[in-house]
Chain A
Amino acid sequence: MKANKTATLGIAILLTFWGSQLPLPGQTSAAAQWSVQVDNIDPGDVNIEPAFIVAIYENLLVELAKEKQFKQVYRKGDRNATGPMLILKTTVQKYSPGSETKRAVTTVAGATKLNVRSQLCTPEGKVVVEQVVNGNVRFLGGNLRATHNLAHNIAGAMKRSTLPEAL
């Protein structure tokens, strides 16, 4: 009797876990039909170093490919980009330059903070998904690590969003 109860509980846990791994309706099936092209990062009105702009762009390409949400991830201007395409536009809204030394000495000060608005648009310019995402580095790592964290968060936010069916 006790063994039966344990087995039932185990199966219930397994089913719950399996269920949590399944995509929500309209999430992956639709997204898998789309490819994405990462547009240049727009610094907006923020005075941000070019190294950060480039690092956000390059890290986005890596993180979006890792998530495997889209069929293909293309660079801006890539002539091979074909098929149903969404364009990822990213605009920097806030940037606080930090200091690795300040972080190492004080622990609480010197964080590098980034805040961006990311939009997935159709080639016609219709915004399909819009998210405001943060990326920070507070303790360990260089300042550019904030761009990696930001790109990781953007890719995660895009994966959680619901995309329309590709035409």
Chain B
Amino acid sequence: MVQKFLSLLLLSFGTHLAAQHATHILGFGDTANNASGDLSIQEGALRFQKTGAAQSAQINLDSIQRASLGQQDKQVGGTALAVGRAATPYGGGRVIALFSHKKYDTVTLEYLDANGGFHGAIFQLDKGKGEALKNQLVANGAHLKEAKDESK
């Protein structure tokens, strides 16, 4: 009885993903590349809400075929810091570059649109958040195929 109650409780928690901050690298609907926003699972759909925008993009979890995880080491600070590094005299920019990088998780989704067209989308999340997102996708009913790279 207690076990049934606990499993029901877990399932009810599994239907929603608390919004996770993510950067959309490319490929998710009409969302602009490199847009920051929140990624959430609601009512059988994966939704990306761009920060400061009213509209959001979403895809059905059923349409997702594969989710692959990866890691990237990126320089922080964007163009502004890149220019600053370049302008720093006596090679100081190189020293700054040595310390101004951060590791991120990348989640690559492969999905089909309503016409059967194949799409790929890449999201960048904070380190350690990629695995959680993938688990949430599976828990909420996404039928993921085995990723080729993970079998190697």
B75 touches A104 (CB 8 A): yes
Q: Does B10 contact A (CB under 8 A)?
A: no
A54 to B138, CA, bound (A): 21
B148's partner among A43, A75, A80, A105 (CB-CB below 8 A) is A43
A143 to B83, CA, bound (A): 18
B117 touches A77 (CB 8 A): yes
B72 touches A55 (CB 8 A): no
A15 to B89, CA, bound (A): 48
- Please tell me which stretch of A20-28, A44-52, A124-132, A152-160 contacts chain B, meaning at least 4 of its Cβ atoms lie within 8 angstroms of it: A44-52
- 27 pairs, CB–CB < 8 Å, chain A vs chain B: A47-B152, A49-B108, A49-B149, A51-B72, A51-B106, A51-B122, A54-B27, A54-B108, A55-B122, A57-B118, A57-B120, A75-B117, A77-B118, A78-B116, A79-B116, A80-B115, A100-B73, A100-B74, A100-B75, A100-B101, A101-B97, A101-B98, A104-B94, A104-B101, A106-B94, A144-B25, A144-B26
A77 to B113, CA, bound (A): 10
With A51-B108, A54-B110 in contact, do A75 and B97 touch (Cβ < 8 Å)? Answer: no
User: Which residues in chain B, 65-100, are within 8 Å of chain A measured between CB atoms?
Assistant: 66, 68, 70, 72-75, 82, 85, 93-94, 97-98
Contact bitstring A7-43, B, C-beta under 8 A = 1, else 0: 0000000000000000000000000000000001001
Taking CB atoms, residues of chain B closer than 8 Å to A75 are 113, 117-119
- Measured as residues with beta carbon below 8 angstroms from the partner, the interface class of chain B is 20 to 34
With A50-B108, A54-B27, A55-B26 in contact, do A99 and B118 touch (Cβ < 8 Å)? Answer: no
What total of A-B pairs shows CB separation below 8 Å? 89
A104 touches B97 (CB 8 A): yes
Could you say which of B66, B73, B93, B117 has the most chain A C-beta atoms within 10 Å of its C-beta?
Answer: B117
- Measured as residues with beta carbon below 8 angstroms from the partner, the interface class of chain A is 20 to 34
Taking CB atoms, residues of chain A closer than 8 Å to B74 are 100, 142
Could you say which of B26, B68, B110, B121 has the most chain A C-beta atoms within 10 Å of its C-beta?
Answer: B26
Q: Does B35 contact A (CB under 8 A)?
A: no
6 other A-B residue contacts (CB within 8 Å) besides A57-B120, A104-B97: A49-B68, A50-B147, A51-B25, A51-B72, A54-B110, A76-B118
A104 to B147, CA, bound (A): 32
Chain A residue at minimum C-beta to C-beta distance from B71? A49
Least distance between B42 CB and chain A CB atoms (Å): 24
With A101-B101, A142-B74 in contact, do A74 and B117 touch (Cβ < 8 Å)? Answer: yes
Closest 4 CB pairs of A and B: A54-B120, A75-B117, A104-B97, A50-B68
A77 touches B116 (CB 8 A): yes
Could you say which of B72, B82, B121 has the most chain A C-beta atoms within 10 Å of its C-beta?
Answer: B72
